[in-house]
Chain A
Amino acid sequence: MIEDPYFGKYISCVSARSTDREILKKAQDGGIATTLMVFALEEGMIDGTIVAGEGDRPWEPEPIVAMTREDILKGRGTKYSISPQISWLKEATRSFGLDKVGVTGVCCQIQAVRKAQLYPINMRDVPGKVAFTVGLFCMENFPYKSLQSIVEDHAAQSLGSVKRMDITKGKFWVYTERGDVATLPLKATHKYEQPGCHVCLDYVSNLADISTGSVGSPDGWSTVFIRTKKGNEIWSKAVAAGMFETKPIEEVKPGLDLLRKIAKEKIDKNQKTIEERKTFGVNKALRNPYA
């Protein structure tokens, strides 16, 4: 077990890509999240999972409880807006009748799952029925109206025509169905960030069974942290079953150094925000959820 101040606890870290072509066609990066959940479903390790599907408006995510491969595939691709994944956590064990629930989500959502497991306040059955969590790396998230401003006002594309969005190499990228690529500097997007993200102290989903993101690995590949016993078991089986190509993380560029640099940037910045909240008013502090 490795313990790192910015990456949390993990058993191992690799660079990987799914071998499932259908998944890769619409996956954000290496299709890790979707492939893992499909594999866990097919192996009976989960009987359903919460994924971020498509909502009513273009690029507005909506959490769904997916119980088939087809539904899990609806989660492919990053939607850069808030998808309240945990709103379905208890319902998944009730209306959906799941005994082994999977959860995909960003860091704060995996934190929410762990809190619900250790302090299950009105969360009956949840502690024992969370079977597998795949967490995503996450720098920040955007309210839907923010995403609209970024894509429609700044990048001058209509949301309905967008095929893919990405945040990488210091830019926000918008790819349209017709082949346009619009970018804007991340600096222009900062003011639109969800405020609650500014007190977030986790970048690589430290509390997931397995966590994954793009930073650290080459385009089309993902960086993967295998963290818990359960995560390790599922990962080993999936690799043995040929679900993934893998490379040692030490051998890929840009590798863990870049990831550590970015993780440190986020966490240090947000620590500072939390510090500043203490003296926000005149003898009045803003609340600190970690105190």
Chain B
Amino acid sequence: MGLLNSTNKTMGRKAKPAHVVMEKKMEATKEIKPVTNKIKIGHVHMSGCTGCLVSLADNSMGLIKILDDYADLVYCLTLADVRNIPEMDVALVEGSVCIQDKGSVEDIKETRKKSKIVVALGSCASYGNITRFSRGGQHNQPQHESFLPIGDIIDVDVYIPGCPPSPELIRNVAVMAYLLLEGDEDQKVLAGKYLKPLMDLAKRGTTGCFCDLMNDVINQGLCMGCGTCAASCPVRAITLEFGKPQGERDLCVKCGSCYGACPRSFFNLDVIPEFESISEIIAGALKEGESDD
């Protein structure tokens, strides 16, 4: 609980037992004085459909709050007029890398060099996803044929799988990245714990598939038939037969969502049981109309 108290503190609240903070939320949020050390965030566009960026923007008021109080968007070709990749605390990379496109390869390497934390935003950056199916032959660059997830070119710190990644997960990672970089020791611990499974996914590999459920959940004797995988599949490739997932493997677009979402891929017992307080913290951090100016 100490962890959570001090998180409330950075968000400007007095340290109180978590339940007291919750009860007095209306009162307490008035006390919010956001910390002024903003972090620098950038959106790096590789070969992706901009759906990930749209998801980021779909946090609407939450995004504005993040940009008001916690982060500056220092790079984003779609939204900000900056040409060269600047120094960043957190780079959110959308899309996979076309290895026949020199510019893209340079940009992704530059991104690694200039960023403290590289986040693969969405399934194309994490796993290749739909771009795995490319065979090239498209005007006006028919030779652009081979697309790799960014983790095959550079080291990646955090994965946010999803096609598109959900606005809420992007939001959570943004808040936690802020705490990791700007919070006090306890907050860094909380953020580290929250981000760890997403960092482990980044270490795990660059391929995503229904097969992951077979290899690492079902074959490992871990599946309990909850159906989460089916809910998370963007192309409805998964159905449950006799309480176990079956994948229509030709439908699978290799997005890796089902594995990440499965409660038996990872279930961190030091974070998820704190769902009530953590959700309150995130909601509190993003409450509208509480910014300093």
Contacts and interface: CB of A to CB of B under 8 A. Distances in A.
A117 B279 contact: yes
B185 interface: no
A108 interface: yes
A143 B269 contact: no
Contacts of B273: 8-9, 114, 206-207
Contacts of A122: 161-163, 165-166, 232-234, 255, 257, 260-261
Contacts of A8: 273
A62 B262 CA distance: 20
A118 B55 CA distance: 17
Contacts, number: 169
B226 interface: yes
Contacts of B263: 108, 111-112, 115, 289
Interface size class of A (residues with CB under 8 A): 35 or more
B162 A289 contact: no
A197 B243 CA distance: 13
B265 A289 contact: yes
B266 A289 contact: yes
Contacts of B272: 111, 114-115, 118-119, 207
Interface stretch (B69-77, B78-86, B145-153, B215-223): B215-223
A286 interface: yes
B154 to A, nearest CB: 22
B242 A127 contact: no
Interface string B8-34: 000000000001001000000000000
A118 B275 contact: yes
Interface in A110-154: 111-112, 114-128, 141, 143-145
Contacts of B276: 228-229
Query: Which residue, of B19, B221, B233, has the highest number of chain A Cβ atoms within 10 A?
Result: B221
Contacts of A82: 224-225, 242-244
B166 A84 contact: no
Contacts of B231: 86-91, 116, 123
B227 A63 contact: yes
Interface in A249-291: 286-287, 289-290
Nearest to A114: B275
A280 to B, nearest CB: 10
A48 to B, nearest CB: 15
A194 B225 CA distance: 9
Given A87-B227, A124-B167, A289-B263, A145 B242 contact: yes
A128 B216 CA distance: 29
B49 interface: no
Contacts of A289: 222, 263-267
B166 A290 contact: no
A196 B264 contact: yes
B251 interface: no
Question: Of B224, B260, B269, which is in contact with the most chain A CB atoms at under 10 Å from its CB?
Answer: B224
Interface string A183-202: 00000000000111111110
A118 B281 CA distance: 12
Nearest to A273: B221
Contact of B240 (A87, A121, A195, A199): A87
A136 B111 CA distance: 48
A197 B226 CA distance: 11
B213 interface: no
A109 interface: yes
A163 B166 CA distance: 43
Interface string A202-237: 000011000000000000000000001100000000
Contacts of B168: 120, 123-128
Contacts of B197: 119
B267 A111 contact: yes
Nearest to B267: A289
B228 interface: yes
Interface in B130-172: 161-169, 172
Given A84-B227, A84-B243, A121-B166, A199 B233 contact: no
Contacts of B269: 201, 290
A83 interface: yes
Interface in A15-39: none
Contacts of B224: 82, 108, 141, 194, 196-197, 200
B53 to A, nearest CB: 15
Given A124-B167, A127-B168, A112 B275 contact: no
A290 B268 contact: yes
Interface string A30-73: 00000000000000000000000000000000010000000000
Given A121-B260, A289-B222, A289-B265, 11 more contacts: A9-B273, A105-B226, A108-B226, A119-B197, A122-B165, A122-B261, A123-B166, A123-B169, A124-B168, A127-B279, A196-B264
16 contacts: A9-B273, A84-B227, A86-B228, A87-B226, A90-B231, A108-B224, A108-B226, A111-B267, A118-B279, A122-B163, A122-B166, A123-B168, A123-B231, A141-B225, A143-B243, A196-B221
